[in-house]
Structure 1
Amino acid sequence: MRITDRRGCLQLCLTEVASGLRNPVLMLHANDHTHRMFVAEQVGVIWVYLPDGSRLEEPFLDIKSIVLATPWIGDERGFLGMAFHPNYKNNGKFYIYYSYMDKKRVEKIRISELKVLASDANKADPRSERNLLELEEPAANHNGGQLLFGVDGYLYLFIGDGGKAGDPFGKFGNAQNKSVLLGKVLKIDVDGRGPDGEPYRIPPDNPFVSDPEARPEVYAYGVRNMWRCAVDRGDPATRKGRGRIFCGDVGQNRFEEVDIIVKGGNYGWRAREGFECYDTKLCHNSSLDDILPIFAYGRNVGKSVTGGYVYRGCESPNLNGLYIFGDFMNGRLMALREDEKTKRWKKQDICIGSTKACAFPRMIRSYSKFIISFAEDEAGELYFMSTSYPSAFAPHGSLYKFVDPARRAPPGKCKYKPVTVKIKSKQIAFVPRAKTVLEFLNEPSPTKPPQKSLAPPGAASTTSAKKSNKTASSKIKASTVKPALSNKKTLKTKAGVEHHKPKQNQQKVTRDPRTTPAPSLPKRKSSQPTGAEKLLPKKSAQAKGALGRRRKESR
């Protein structure tokens, strides 16, 4: 039995796993039984975290000198994707997806293959890079960025539509044009070369290999900007659901959606946005076979979906089969469960940090607001990464692990013994920063009652984090999501959905590229190298309000 509050909000807890990260865009395991976690920052640095929670001082890979990343708030460019080869344990190959600028100052995205060093299992060989694919980006946003291997052993690539608003390229847009690779899901075979020397093969079962007007790499089309996709491991006992690919596709200005990717599927963009028409003319003339989302939500729920994972771990059996995802903009965590009879997916909000449900060691009561990505470790447990300040050079990102307080697996059932890896780099022990629920409960009662704030469903009021050493600049406030107290008031819209009341000086941020520089960061100790902070502009006056005004122009 799962714990829910009176509103039906699923009560979950978190533990803090890592902090001080610069926009952590992904966390992966290598499926090599070592249970290491590889965490990538948007600037182009990948860190290794060991099963004991420590981080290696030297990064697995550092290519920030060639990755195109800026300090602009919400800039989508940078290091965006990574996938380990299914046979990584034996061949040491992995794949990366990043933005860069060529010698002619043309912005592109690049997908490459690299290998791990034979002499050090925790260091990649940057000289081994083999370029698989490069695509010119007509605009700075909608870069996509997901790489993953399906259960068929092929590499899937999720490419954005090229940017700007409304996919304005060509007569029908890039996403509906199968002769271009933008706005597509691609599938390639990285274990061979093409007949004309191409660095990959085309899988023979790709849906458009016989269509002379389509690129043979195309597996599905009509996508806008899929941000974070994942393969379902399947039910641990029955394997039901195994191999399904779930994606969050960021919407234009009305709807966000979650899709399951199928061979040859047309996901409707730009004819459709969510379940509704976007381009009326295209929509009325489009095929009735368009693949509709399994779930879509409007602006009263969130503004930028971050795709997640289906839980298939051992430690929290009640969560099995739940698709857990979130919204980048408002920090909302949600879950979908499929009705076996109707095959429809029903949403449930997730609430974090209840003092009653989470009063256990290491459990925390808040998290950084801007949800960047979700992750799954080698044991199948789920995590998410978020930041309180979404600039690629800001070391305010954290990694959190989900914990279900309602039901834990029996003691000893989820034990595993990681394969030992020789360590050549210094290990840095993790020191948690977030206050635990127990620490919160043990605090002395304040002399003054806490100020009332307004809380969104599922979690929380957006608040400003305390600045370290009381020396932080007043120009930036780090956003976190905290649990709602029982005596706090809420606002309700006409639709009956609760919202928090935005602060007047709160900055609006979207997952779209910006021409507004990030204000200077507060001085803050971090276990990560932070020399890049010097690149951040000092002035912040332009940042306020500009992001919100440009949202419709760039999305």
Structure 2
Amino acid sequence: MLRYLTPLRLVVVIIALDLALFAYVLRGSFMQQDIEFVHLVGGLNQPTYLTHAGDDRLFILERPGVIRVYQHDALLPEPFLDIRDLVQDTKDTEQGLLSLAFAPDYQTSGRFYVYYTGEAQDGDTVVARYWVSDGDPNRADADSAQIILTVEQPAAKHNGGQLSFGPDGYLYLSLGDGGNLSQPENAQDTSNLLGSIIRIDVRGDAAAYNIPPGNPFADDESVRPEIWSYGLRNPWRFSFDSATGDLYIADVGDKEVEEINIAPAGDAGGHNYGWPAYEGRHALHDVPHLDADAITFPAFEYPHTTGEGIVAANWRCAIIGGGVYHGRQLSTLQGKYIYADWCSGLLWSLEQRDDGWASTELIDTDFIINSFGEDSNGELYLLTGQGDVWRLAEK
């Protein structure tokens, strides 16, 4: 979630930056005593995302348009891909190079996909296909780009930001509502893709993409057939549970709450998550012709304050979705969904119990948590606004 720093958050950041790097861990409050952070790398230029290609390498995205490779405990000197001349990353916006997804058959096809806001497209969302170079697995072929999708963005925020292949082999993409206050109903207007999760088929030799036959609106001429679900404000991050296939969508809220929507594996899609008529379960705006009974409410939500007012110690503003943990190092987190908040620096775990979904506070940090990432072993990483990557580990 790439929000600009509000005055209150800026004060917190300035205070934090006066301290040594490792003070972020030492000053943190570890509610779960068997968890710690391991520092991988620092000095990055606004890291936005981290992923893997099925091997021991980590691919780290920097907002201006660079993909770095981390291998054997070090960043490689040359980038995997540098598209800074293509990316619009205006200061104090949510633009930039936002996500990366390797094709399920990447080891043989060499294909991968990037999500960015385009300079030539006046900040519109661009999804482009690339190939790895023939001679070097750590360098992409920068000349191989094929733009497969462009989505007009009315503003430089609420652009969404996630690409991920689902268990079904299709490519999923999240888009925010565009952040344009004069068009608050974008997320309910299914004639465009704003405020939605879309699902497309990028397999085969098609220059762009095909519509999966099982998409919920594939046969509805009044709805964009790419749409899988809609009614979202800014689903900055979503993820699939690698064990079950369940889809977790972390949708950034407005003034009241942050929400997590969960679609179980095999779900038929077509959900309307309610924005802007609802923020979480709370009615907000009167949207004409919206059937409240048709809304899918979140599995879990949390408020922006804890009832003690807006102070640095408890102020929350933007959920940062992580993933369901299936790594080898954190036995107490197995099968739990890990997420954080951009303003407070808090980390939580979420699990389903007999009486519903329950959240447990794990760590109170001074990090500005921009995003999570995962390696090929299922271990989770934090990417921070301070330019660092940290791995969650067991003490």
Cα deviation for residue 59 of structure 1 reads 0.4
Report percent identity of matched pairs: 39
Other-structure match for 1:99: 117
Once the two structures are superposed, residues 188-243 of structure 1 have per-residue CA deviations (whole angstroms, 9 ceiling, x without a partner) of 0001467xxx6111000000011110011111110111111111111xxxxxxx11
Rounded to whole Å, the distance in 2 between the matches of 1:186 and 1:142 is: 16
RMSD: 1.9
Rounded to whole Å, the distance in 2 between the matches of 1:139 and 1:205 is: 32
Rounded to whole Å, the distance in 2 between the matches of 1:387 and 1:111 is: 24
Other-structure match for 1:276: 282
Other-structure match for 1:249: 251
Cα deviation for residue 10 of structure 1 reads 2.3
Among candidates 343, 358, 361, match of residue 349 of structure 1: 361
Rounded to whole Å, the distance in 2 between the matches of 1:277 and 1:28 is: 36
Among candidates 18, 39, 42, match of residue 60 of structure 2: 39
Other-structure match for 2:322: 308
What code does the residue aligned with 1:202 have?
A: I
What code does the residue aligned with 1:226 have?
A: P
Other-structure match for 1:151: 167
The answer to whether structure 1 residue 66 and structure 2 residue 86 are counterparts is yes
Other-structure match for 1:26: 49
What code does the residue aligned with 2:330 have?
A: S
- Aligned partners of 1:193 and 1:201 also within 8 Å: no
Other-structure match for 2:74: 54
Assess, with a 3 A threshold, how the Cα gap between structure 1 residues 293 and 215 changes in structure 2: closer, same or farther. same
Query: For 1:201-212, what aligned pairs fall within 5 Å after superposition?
Result: 201-212=210-221
- Aligned partners of 2:30 and 2:363 also within 8 Å: no
- Aligned partners of 1:251 and 1:257 also within 8 Å: yes
Query: For 1:169-248, what aligned pairs fall within 5 Å after superposition?
Result: 169=183, 173-192=185-204, 199-234=208-243, 242-248=244-250
Rounded to whole Å, the distance in 1 between the matches of 2:208 and 2:205 is: 5
Aligned residues: 353
Once the two structures are superposed, residues 476-499 of structure 1 have per-residue CA deviations (whole angstroms, 9 ceiling, x without a partner) of xxxxxxxxxxxxxxxxxxxxxxxx
Secondary structure of the 1:152 match is coil
After TM superposition, the score normalised by the length of structure 2 is 0.85
- Aligned partners of 2:175 and 2:196 also within 8 Å: yes
Rounded to whole Å, the distance in 2 between the matches of 1:199 and 1:374 is: 29
Cα deviation for residue 160 of structure 1 reads 1.0
Other-structure match for 2:349: 335
Secondary structure of the 1:178 match is coil
Other-structure match for 1:403: 393
Rounded to whole Å, the distance in 1 between the matches of 2:101 and 2:179 is: 24
What code does the residue aligned with 1:62 have?
A: D
Secondary structure of the 2:188 match is coil
Query: For 1:313-324, what aligned pairs fall within 5 Å after superposition?
Result: 313-324=327-338
- Aligned partners of 2:69 and 2:79 also within 8 Å: yes
Query: For 1:112-511, what aligned pairs fall within 5 Å after superposition?
Result: 112-165=128-181, 168-169=182-183, 173-192=185-204, 199-234=208-243, 242-261=244-263, 262=267, 263-279=269-285, 281-282=286-287, 285-300=290-305, 302-339=316-353, 341-342=354-355, 344-351=356-363, 369-388=367-386, 397-405=387-395
Cα deviation for residue 13 of structure 1 reads 0.8
Assess, with a 3 A threshold, how the Cα gap between structure 1 residues 76 and 13 changes in structure 2: closer, same or farther. same
User: Which of the pair has more CA radius of gyration?
Assistant: 1
Cα deviation for residue 290 of structure 1 reads 1.3
Q: State the 4+ residue runs in structure 1 displaced beyond 4 angstroms.
A: none
**Structure 1: which 5+ runs fail to align?**
1-6, 235-241, 353-366, 389-396, 406-555
Rounded to whole Å, the distance in 2 between the matches of 1:368 and 1:56 is: 28
Rounded to whole Å, the distance in 2 between the matches of 1:283 and 1:20 is: 49
Rounded to whole Å, the distance in 1 between the matches of 2:66 and 2:208 is: 25
Rounded to whole Å, the distance in 1 between the matches of 2:32 and 2:284 is: 33
Assess, with a 3 A threshold, how the Cα gap between structure 1 residues 35 and 8 changes in structure 2: closer, same or farther. closer
Secondary structure of the 1:226 match is coil
What code does the residue aligned with 2:246 have?
A: R
After TM superposition, the score normalised by the length of structure 1 is 0.61
What code does the residue aligned with 2:56 have?
A: H
Question: Would you tell me which structure has more strand in proportion to its own residues?
Answer: 2
Once the two structures are superposed, residues 347-405 of structure 1 have per-residue CA deviations (whole angstroms, 9 ceiling, x without a partner) of 111126xxxxxxxxxxxxxx6521000111100111111123xxxxxxxx111111133
Cα deviation for residue 274 of structure 1 reads 1.1
Cα deviation for residue 247 of structure 1 reads 1.8
What code does the residue aligned with 1:99 have?
A: T
Rounded to whole Å, the distance in 2 between the matches of 1:318 and 1:305 is: 22
- Aligned partners of 1:175 and 1:183 also within 8 Å: yes
Rounded to whole Å, the distance in 2 between the matches of 1:289 and 1:120 is: 51
**Structure 2: which 5+ runs fail to align?**
1-28, 306-313
- Aligned partners of 2:95 and 2:123 also within 8 Å: no
- Aligned partners of 2:111 and 2:131 also within 8 Å: yes
What code does the residue aligned with 2:273 have?
A: Y
What code does the residue aligned with 1:80 have?
A: L
The answer to whether structure 1 residue 9 and structure 2 residue 31 are counterparts is yes
- Aligned partners of 1:76 and 1:140 also within 8 Å: yes
Rounded to whole Å, the distance in 1 between the matches of 2:75 and 2:144 is: 24
